[in-house]
Amino acid sequence: MTAALPTEPPPHELAERALPYLVSAVSRAAPNGPSALLPPLSLALSTLARARLAGQRLSSPLAPLHAFVSLATEDPAAVPLSLAYDALLAYPADSAALSPALDAVLSAHLDETATLVPALTRRLSSASKPLELLAPARLAHALLRASDALAALLLEHADDLVPAISAAYARLGGGRDDVRAKSEALLLVRAIAGLMGRGAASAALVRLMGDAGVKGTALVNQSLRDDYALFTTGDVDADVRAVLKALQDDERADDPRIAPLQDVFPTLPAHLLVDALHHPAFAASGSSARTPKEQAAPLIDAILGSALPPELGELAAAVRAAGAGRAADAREKVERRNIWNEELDLSRMRLKGQTDPVVGKEIPDNLRASILRLVDQQAEEAEEAARAVAEARGLGLAPKPRRLYLGDDEDDIDSDVGPTVRLAADGEESGDESDDGEHLDGALDGRPAGNDVQLHLELAYIRNPAVFGRDAATRRSAARKELRDATGYDDGQLEGWKIMLDRNPHKEAILERHQFSREPAKDKPKPKKDKAGGGGSGPNDSGSNASGSTRGGGRGGRGGRGGNKGSRGHSNAARTRGHDKKMTRMGAGL
């Protein structure tokens, strides 16, 4: 069940919410004939016209416009004149599309048409509010543009119409709504003057506006004659022009044809574009059956081709001004510069008679701290890289000359120093200071020392990395057996060494050391370990100390102090290790 339509249009505040419902009602009633179409169409056009007069910006639905044009063309006698007036006020940008329908309606209501202008004159004579001047002035302006017959009728009654407009103009003040109404009245008078032409007719029109009043502010407290003279000569204050331009643009911004024009010419005023669209040269393209972009296309071509009609001189001037502004922006700016254009460098300032450090010459604390942190970080990275390569070779880092520990706190010495050599003092044996004789056992049991082990492993890896494979065939191979015998490592140690080498970020640096080196001779005689004590005798040695070792003669005991201390553990091992580290830092190590 469809709800009944109201008999009166809603207030303009509710127009935005009511309009979709009314448009839908018009679409449903259009196929059912004039009797069903007129009520919803009248409400829709009246609602939209009131919203336009109130300055409310709404979208322009096309369904009521098409319905009115179709109804007025098919049955103009069924269309009342009030509906035609509402259509003109609701669609001010579509006067070209409404013109044929309006002529048909006026022809069907000749008696009422004759009384139209006198009725407008009476309303203007009693107007004391902005809307009472705005509505008839805008309607008269729309009728003048839409119908030649009505334009002639307005000129015929100009002797009564213009004084009525002047009287209503004088009653208004300077508020926003008052300025809107006054600007519409000025546009109407200007259109009438354009129809009359120049010369005596134009002078007569000026006399109809009344006597000149006291000079004041345009559109605020001046008479219609004074404001018309200002706008005719162009001698209008910039602030008044800006206010009037904003009002006109706001009134016409809802025209759908303005959007494609402002996409191409964003700086051109909207009211000038709308006036150009109503010009006869471009109004013929304003058919509602075409899209807004197609309707605006002829005007775009005329502006781009500098082919605007002479009547649109104001728009042509705005186009030239916009083009000159773009050319000035595109022109490259040449700027003179000298030493004073740069920012002031405080570090180069000098005060006469002062020798103190100048402000800005010292490095800030935070910057100095950042620099020191960066230097320390780089030094640590370099030291870490050198340590990694040295440890891979079985060597310790070279001692740092600037760090020399001579105190007795050996426990405070860094514990990350590489392998060292303990030097025997007078009355002591170098072998006595070894905890359990580990670094002597490696040299006496036929295996190479730590450096040679690393050398064998690295050269073996360079020759054939597959010898470190983890499969059973590799472990049983002769190359693996030879590598085990040469290094003393078992399969797990060899495979683990290869894994650690692959993970070492300095692997390439370690292997590059052997680019021009040769593998040590494999037939080098291996010393035999003397299980009875003594220091490593060779095959030609006949005594326990035949090789000429230093004090103590090996591990065979020391006078009345008994045998080797390595067999019973050392009670002062921490002190001796610290002493070795100290001597290494002093340059006595490897």
pLDDT tens digits, 231-261: 666 665 666 666 666 666 565 656 677 778 8
For every residue of 415-470, DSSP letters joined together read S------PPP-TT--GGGG-SSSHHHHHHHTT---HHHHHHHHHHHHHH-GGGG--
Predicted confidence (pLDDT) at residue 588 exceeds the cutoff of 50: no
Predicted confidence (pLDDT) at residue 145 exceeds the cutoff of 70: yes
Contact between 494 and 483 under an 8 Å Cβ cutoff? The reply is: yes
**Amino acid occupying residue 411:** D
pLDDT at 539: 43
Residue indicated by tokens 């290869």:
498
Query: Is 396 a domain residue?
Result: no
**Amino acid occupying residue 182:** K
d(CA 189, CA 158): 10
* Torsion of Cα atoms, 359 then 361 then 362 then 368, to 10°: 130
Q: From start to end of 133-217, where are the E strands? A: none
Contact between 468 and 495 under an 8 Å Cβ cutoff? The reply is: yes
In tens, the pLDDT along 177-211 reads 887 788 778 878 888 887 777 666 777 777 777 77
In tens, the pLDDT along 493-519 reads 999 989 998 888 888 877 877 766 655
H or E segment and range at residue 553: none
pLDDT at 512: 78
Predicted confidence (pLDDT) at residue 412 exceeds the cutoff of 70: no
Residues 455 and 480 in one domain: yes
Residue indicated by tokens 């003109």:
88
Residues 125 and 248 in one domain: yes
Residue indicated by tokens 């044809």:
257
Residue 114: alpha-carbon gap to chain centroid: 64
H or E segment and range at residue 31: none
Predicted confidence (pLDDT) at residue 381 exceeds the cutoff of 50: yes
Residues 497 and 453 in one domain: yes
d(CA 141, CA 48): 18
Q: What six digits make up the tokens of 375?
A: 């230097």
Boundary of a domain, candidates 481, 508, 531: 531
Residues 123 and 246 in one domain: yes
- Which residues neighbour 47 within 8 Å (Cβ) at sequence distance 6 or greater? 9, 10, 12, 15, 18, 19, 22
Predicted confidence (pLDDT) at residue 421 exceeds the cutoff of 50: no
Q: 560 burial class (0-12, 13-18, 19+ CB within 10 angstroms)?
A: exposed
Residue indicated by tokens 């058919």:
287
Predicted confidence (pLDDT) at residue 537 exceeds the cutoff of 70: no
**Amino acid occupying residue 549:** S
In tens, the pLDDT along 295-316 reads 788 888 888 888 888 878 888 8
3-state secondary structure of 173: coil
Query: Is 120 a domain residue?
Result: yes
Q: Quick one: CA dihedral 477, 480, 486, 491, positive or negative?
A: negative
Boundary of a domain, candidates 203, 220, 252: 252
d(CA 82, CA 75): 15
Query: Is 296 a domain residue?
Result: yes
Read off the pLDDT band of 562 (50, 70, 90).
very low
Query: Is 545 a domain residue?
Result: no
End-to-end CA separation in angstroms for the chain:
108
3-state secondary structure of 254: coil
pLDDT at 459: 87
3-state secondary structure of 126: coil
Residues 128 and 239 in one domain: yes
Residue range 170-178: average pLDDT? Answer: 80
pLDDT at 446: 45
Read off the pLDDT band of 477 (50, 70, 90).
very high
Residues 120 and 96 in one domain: no
Residues 126 and 245 in one domain: yes
Q: 587 burial class (0-12, 13-18, 19+ CB within 10 angstroms)?
A: exposed
Residue range 16-32: average pLDDT? Answer: 85
d(CA 231, CA 265): 25
Q: Which residue has the higher pLDDT, 352 or 462?
A: 462
d(CA 357, CA 355): 7
Residues 107 and 132 in one domain: no
Q: Which residue has the higher pLDDT, 178 or 581?
A: 178
Tell me the range of 44-48, 174-178, 318-322, 360-364 where mean pLDDT is highest: 44-48
Q: Which residue has the higher pLDDT, 90 or 337?
A: 90
Q: What is the DSSP letter of 585?
A: I
Query: Is 367 a domain residue?
Result: no
Contact between 120 and 161 under an 8 Å Cβ cutoff? The reply is: yes
Residues 227 and 175 in one domain: yes
d(CA 21, CA 61): 12
Boundary of a domain, candidates 112, 140, 174: 112
CB atoms < 10 A from the CB of 50, how many?
20
Contact between 102 and 84 under an 8 Å Cβ cutoff? The reply is: yes
pLDDT at 231: 66
Q: 220 burial class (0-12, 13-18, 19+ CB within 10 angstroms)?
A: middle
Considering its fold, how many domains does the chain have in total?
4
Predicted confidence (pLDDT) at residue 349 exceeds the cutoff of 60: yes
Residues 221 and 99 in one domain: no
Query: Is 431 a domain residue?
Result: no
In tens, the pLDDT along 41-100 reads 888 888 888 887 777 767 778 888 888 888 888 888 888 888 888 888 888 767 777 888
d(CA 2, CA 318): 52
Q: What six digits make up the tokens of 553?
A: 């003669």
Percent of all residues in the chain with a pLDDT value above 70, rounded to a whole number: 62
Residues 138 and 100 in one domain: no
- List C-alpha distances in Å: 148 to 96, 195, 227: 12, 11, 27
Q: What is the DSSP letter of 531?
A: T
Lowest mean pLDDT among 113-117, 340-344, 468-472, 579-583: 579-583
Query: Is 248 a domain residue?
Result: yes
Query: Is 375 a domain residue?
Result: no
pLDDT at 366: 84
Tell me how long the chain is.
Answer: 590
d(CA 89, CA 176): 20
Average pLDDT, the chain: 71
**Amino acid occupying residue 367:** L
To the question of pTM greater than 0.85 for the whole model, the response is no
d(CA 261, CA 351): 63
Please give the residue range of the domain that contains residue 4: 1-112
Residues 161 and 239 in one domain: yes
- How many CA atoms are closer than 13 Å to the CA of 15, on its beta-carbon side? 24
> How many distinct helices (H) and strands (E) make up the chain?
27, 0
